Structure 1
Amino acid sequence: MARLEDSLTIGDLTLRNRLYRAPLLECAGNGPDAVEQLIADLEPGAASGAGLLCQGATIVRGEGGCAAPGMTRVHDPEFVAGLANLTDRIHDHGARIAIQLEYGGLRSMETWHAGYRADHPGLSQLAVSKPPWQLRALDRLGVVSYDPDVMTTEQVYALAADFGRSAGYAVDAGYDAIHLAGANMGIIQQFLSPFYNRRDDEFGGTLRNRTRFLELVHDEIRRRAGDVPILTKVPAETAAPRAIQRHLTLEDGVDIAARLDVVGFDAIVPVVTSTFWDMSIVRGEYPERAWADEGFQDGYTEAFGSRYRARAVALLNRLQARRFDFEPGWNEAFCRRVRERVDVPVLAEGGIREREQIGRLLGANGTGPACDAVGMARPFYAEPRLPARLLDADPDSRVLCESCNNCTVPQATGAPGVCRTPEILRRHGELQKEGAYERSE
């Protein structure tokens, strides 16, 4: 077993401990204040002791591909060079930083955000294949809007090169690792998934072929960024609706992870997810406060096209919350299966909230470790300096986050990801006054 405070090596990179901030949506964009906002979001975790900070999904092209408003694009070397100010600040505290690279494909704003579509009428979505009939039916009903540009084989190679190019810029700016958004319904998952991928070239058909795009991205990163550690999420679509027969099984996810270990990936993050962008990735309560907040109503109307449609999305959100109620450590079983098959570190995230639970995941209960490091995402919205409370902490300690999701839903309007729940904010203020977040470096 390992302790949370023990160091961990990923590739050639040594982390001072096994606690990391999982990727979150920072909503910093690319404006003149973007770097300072990223510093404000990420530096507190480094200063309070986290071993690794993962900057949330950044987009590898200058047009399209954003899954939500305010995502940062990293296609421009001049902009990425300015992110050295961020990486320097993280390094000043003895922490390490990874950047997550992403492209949304059929999950992009040009699919679901009405205001964005109106502002970009000629923008289509990059698609792995023609959208499945279930998605085309939603298009006909007006729920989403598809104008897919199904990639040729040459375009697939070009997109992989964009991932590698952005990775090279990031390494030049001081990033210590590259984290690929291999799940959460982005373009990489769409290549892996038999639900989305109906291609008949070298990137479609068998699971082995559907994994080729991720392998190609790996090779492009190695070619353009050298031996930087490469991490990736690996999905199992076991949370898909029962009616969806074509999806990635848990065994498929384990096989993908094993293949990526052979290819040369340096760490794997197994994630149980769905074939759709739903609450399987943010399990917890229905965010009543966020949907009712008058300050966001105009933003919801712009995003979903009308107040009626916004109310319909809220109702769907309520139903989803019943299906995907909070489940502590919901990726644990998947992580265990993957760790049995690979030699590289396995990172666990998703519903990790208690110090005792962390110990179990790292092997403290005698059943063997499920992972080599633990990550948290939404808890950092509630407690930006969370590591100071968890490292060297009482075994009964837990985070403040209650997975109420009042932080996530407003991000559809471009609002920042912050805790908005009064009781959590009150308790955070009390702990701050008590000095709970003070930590000597």
Structure 2
Amino acid sequence: MGAHLEDPLDIGSVTVPNRLYRAPLLECAGNGPDAVDALVADLEPAAASGVGLVFQGATIVREEGGCAAPGMTRVHDDDFVSRLSRLTDAIHDHGGRIFVQLEHGGLRSMETWHARYRREHPDQTQLAVSRPPWQLRALDTVGFLDYDPDVMTTADVDELAADFGRAAARCVDAGYDGIHLAGANMGLLHQFATPFYNRRSDRYGDRGAFFERVLDEIRDRAGDVPVVTKVPAETPAPRVVRRHLDLEDGVDLAVRLADYGYDAVVPVQTNVFWDMSIVRGAYPKRAWTDESLQDAYAEAFGSRWRALGVRALNRLQARRMDFDAPWNAEFCRRVRERVDVPVLCEGGVRERREMYRLLGAADDDPDAAGGDSAPAADAVGLARPFYAEPRLGARLLDDHGREHVTPGTRVVCESCNNCTVPQATGAPGVCRTPSVLRERGRLEKRGAYDPDDESPKPPETGNIDDSGPTDR
């Protein structure tokens, strides 16, 4: 029997009102005096549009270091975190639930790759699970990256796990309904999980041990709060990387973490490097050619020449990395066959019909059989489409019998990545593609983003642009 997108879902002790969630994105809100306002402005529209679960994006557990991009919010300070209750209250006022994603970037952090940040923080430590693999040392030798890693002792790892627990406790006190761990996409948790980075000889040489210790710390300090984690499989890794997590390794890790006590898992296929396996789609030409960003790219990457080198790699990756959405579906399906906790699926989901297929329904009939295959997921998430349509839930959720919500309802996002590349400079995650913004404007005029409007609307037309060429 297939699940309905509008059905509630239990994640641990929390009931989420439906199975659509806003996946973690970079809010770039920081910790300044306007940070809470920025987070409310970014996240509340999703809940207001009916989205059942909102994940606040990567949030750093320590006062210094660990940020993979400029502007990440930190939750190390009691006073600041207490003010985040205004955000959690705003989400709850709309009937939604909010989990915060906790992270430390490790060798993916700005102290490794961001040139200006390194100059301004010369004493900041690059936390490493083990000595960097030879591929990264080669990049250091040719001057593309600059590694001076501090390999953590066992005591260091224990203390970092405790920081995750302390951060979780602060967030629960501020009203967050749950914790999401950034266990993939080359963050530090991922680095502990993969043989590419983890060559330790102590107990943390076991790829699941750090995940387990972090969960123990959260339970000890924050109580029985629901905890979700991403789980990596490094299927996009190039041939030169022989030691990595294949799909079966990822499934086994997900099963182990579910058995240990995680309340839900998010299987993600990602590389051992930071690349477009995370944000698959078109080469973001507009983002790279925007004159207003050129100085900021040079500051981030060290010079205009190095920025051009990163741009060239970005173009090559876009050609190599097929969109092939939803690209995590098979991974999710294989995990779901073996675990007893909810499996959350994201990665290129763009149409309501796809969501029903992932949930095991043949169409929008909640009593329909699940087609030719078992359900792949218990909830479905989207990320970049919320940059393009902050109130997207109103177009995808059929809570009020709205006639404009059909099986073919599709997001207007073109997966062109013009929103993501500028975030390396600290620019906000917003849609910059004219054709998408024009289509959103048309939908706004039709009232498609009003969750309480039950009046009939013209049929959905998809992303139509009749006013000139796009960037793609």
Alignment of 1:324 onto 2:328: no
Return the TM-score normalized by structure 2. 0.92
1:233 to 224, 230, 233: 230
Cα offset for 1:394? 0.3
Q: In the aligned structure 1, how far is the partner of 2:114 from the partner of 2:173?
A: 34
Partner of 1:288: 285
Q: In the aligned structure 2, how far is the partner of 1:428 from the partner of 1:315?
A: 31
Counterparts of residues 298-337 of structure 1 (less than 5 Å) = 298-337=295-334
1:48–1:439 CA contact under 8 A, matched in 2: yes
Partner of 1:79: 80
- 1:261-311 C-alpha deviation (Å, 9 max, x unpaired): 111100000000000000000000000000000010010000011111111
Q: In the aligned structure 2, how far is the partner of 1:149 from the partner of 1:170?
A: 28
Alignment of 1:171 onto 2:167: no
Counterparts of residues 411-422 of structure 1 (less than 5 Å) = 411-422=423-434
Counterparts of residues 11-26 of structure 1 (less than 5 Å) = 11-26=12-27
Partner of 1:258: 255
Partner of 1:152: 153
Q: In the aligned structure 1, how far is the partner of 2:62 from the partner of 2:141?
A: 29
2:392 to 379, 386, 389: 386
Counterpart amino acid of 2:48? A
Alignment of 1:212 onto 2:218: no
Return the TM-score normalized by structure 1. 0.98
Counterparts of residues 37-436 of structure 1 (less than 5 Å) = 37-204=38-205, 209-365=206-362, 366=371, 367-392=373-398, 393-436=405-448
Q: In the aligned structure 2, how far is the partner of 1:139 from the partner of 1:77?
A: 38
What secondary structure is seen at the aligned counterpart in 1 of 2:418?
coil
Q: In the aligned structure 2, how far is the partner of 1:233 from the partner of 1:329?
A: 16
What secondary structure is seen at the aligned counterpart in 2 of 1:210?
coil
Cα offset for 1:243? 1.3
Alignment: residue pair count: 437
Q: In the aligned structure 2, how far is the partner of 1:422 from the partner of 1:295?
A: 17
1:124–1:146 CA contact under 8 A, matched in 2: no
What secondary structure is seen at the aligned counterpart in 2 of 1:203?
helix
Q: In the aligned structure 2, how far is the partner of 1:214 from the partner of 1:77?
A: 24
1:283–1:324 CA contact under 8 A, matched in 2: yes
- 1:168-219 C-alpha deviation (Å, 9 max, x unpaired): 0000000001000000100000000000000000111xxxx22000000000
What secondary structure is seen at the aligned counterpart in 1 of 2:123?
coil
- 1:108-145 C-alpha deviation (Å, 9 max, x unpaired): 00111000001111112100000001101101111111
1:378–1:403 CA contact under 8 A, matched in 2: yes
Q: In the aligned structure 1, how far is the partner of 2:207 from the partner of 2:254?
A: 13
Cα offset for 1:372? 0.1
Partner of 2:464: none
1:285–1:325 CA contact under 8 A, matched in 2: no
Counterpart amino acid of 2:231? V
Q: In the aligned structure 2, how far is the partner of 1:203 from the partner of 1:55?
A: 28
- 1:296-340 C-alpha deviation (Å, 9 max, x unpaired): 001000001111111110000000000113221000000000001
1:21–1:375 CA contact under 8 A, matched in 2: yes
1:356–1:396 CA contact under 8 A, matched in 2: yes
1:234–1:257 CA contact under 8 A, matched in 2: yes
Cα offset for 1:440? 2.1
Cα offset for 1:10? 0.5
Counterpart amino acid of 2:233? A
Which residues of structure 2 form unaligned runs of 5+?
363-370, 399-404, 454-472
- 1:143-184 C-alpha deviation (Å, 9 max, x unpaired): 111111100000000000000000000000000010000001
Q: In the aligned structure 2, how far is the partner of 1:123 from the partner of 1:143?
A: 19
Aligned alpha-carbon RMSD (Å): 0.7
